[in-house]
Amino acid sequence: MTAPFFLVAPEALTTEVGRTVVVEGAEGRHAATVKRLERGEQVLVGDGHGRVVEGRVSAVVGKDRIDVEVTAYAEHPVPSPRVVVVQALAKGERGELSVELLTEVGADVVVPWSASRSVAQWRGDKAERGVEKWRSTAREAAKQSRRPFVPEVRALASTAECAALVREAVASGGTAIVLHEDASLRMAALRVPTNGDVVLVVGPEGGISDDERAAFESAGALSARLGPSVLRTSTAGTVAAAVVLASCGRWD
């Protein structure tokens, strides 16, 4: 069975073998009270930025702290190309589901997009709460999937801001793809660059409007379809990311 994985702040992660990493607060409570870890058990501790240590629990201190003696250390290289998913807001819990799945499959950046046909709309304080919920979902999914990198969840973006992101990626040697069921180009036929950013634009339940599609294509994006069936907004990005990650060699 794979050792449980916990995240701490970068400054709290000691990487020297024989030293002690303190896992406390909410993570410590999960380890000591929920997981009920005991001395001698093996764990993984990371900082969410590529550094991960293996170790054994040397002490359980109260209900919200464990001490971990480091036995091994690994620093994972930053993945390339980066997969950036512009994810339209979805109703109910489908937005968090999309972030969870994108994290598990290997996406690197998630940009919440306020599309014109999104049923859900984040305004005022709701936008801040929504972004924080997506960030928490990404963090928990990274722990569950043992990812050394926690995906970056950016602030809520408008169509114009997302188009600028597409333009920047294309200008830097990357590529951008708008997922659309009517596109003649197939995702599987695209050649994915091995560096730069691959931006995937995922529309809402009501689909991407003609104006939005035109804005992205004017910025340099291609429109492509995944297959013969129409996927939900909560799953389309994950399937597209899987195609990209498999074709660019990141899954080798």
Answer yes or no: are the C-beta atoms of 29 and 64 closer than 8 Å.
yes
Q: Where are the domains of the chain?
A: 5-75, 82-247
Identify the helix (H) or strand (E) that includes residue 109: strand 109-113
174/195 Cα distance (integer angstroms) = 7
- CA-nearest of 94, 74, 98 to 85 is 98
pLDDT in the model for residue 252: 82
Angle between helices 94-105 and 233-247 (to 10 degrees): 10
Just give the CATH number of 5-75. 2.40.240.20
Look up residue 203 and give its amino acid: G
Are 5-75 and 82-247 equal in CATH topology?
no
- CA-nearest of 36, 28, 21 to 65 is 28
Residue 220 tokens read as 């340099």
H-helix segments, the chain: 25-29, 94-105, 125-144, 159-171, 210-218, 233-247
Spatial CB neighbours of 120, under 8 Å, sequence gap ≥ 6: 89, 90, 91, 92, 95
pLDDT in the model for residue 198: 97
pLDDT band (50, 70, 90) for residue 228? confident
pLDDT band (50, 70, 90) for residue 188? confident
Backbone φ and ψ of 192, nearest 5°: -95, 130
Look up residue 90 and give its amino acid: A
pLDDT band (50, 70, 90) for residue 37? very high
132/27 Cα distance (integer angstroms) = 17
Cis bond upstream, residue 151 (ω within 30): no
115/119 Cα distance (integer angstroms) = 9
How does 208-221 read in b/e, with b if 16+ C-beta sit within 10 Å?
beeebbebbbebbb
Q: Is the pLDDT of residue 1 over 80?
A: no
pTM: 0.94
pLDDT band (50, 70, 90) for residue 47? very high
Fold that domain 82-247 belongs to in CATH? Alpha/beta knot (3.40.1280)
Q: Is the pLDDT of residue 193 over 90?
A: no
In tens, the pLDDT along 84-105 reads 999 999 988 999 999 999 999 9
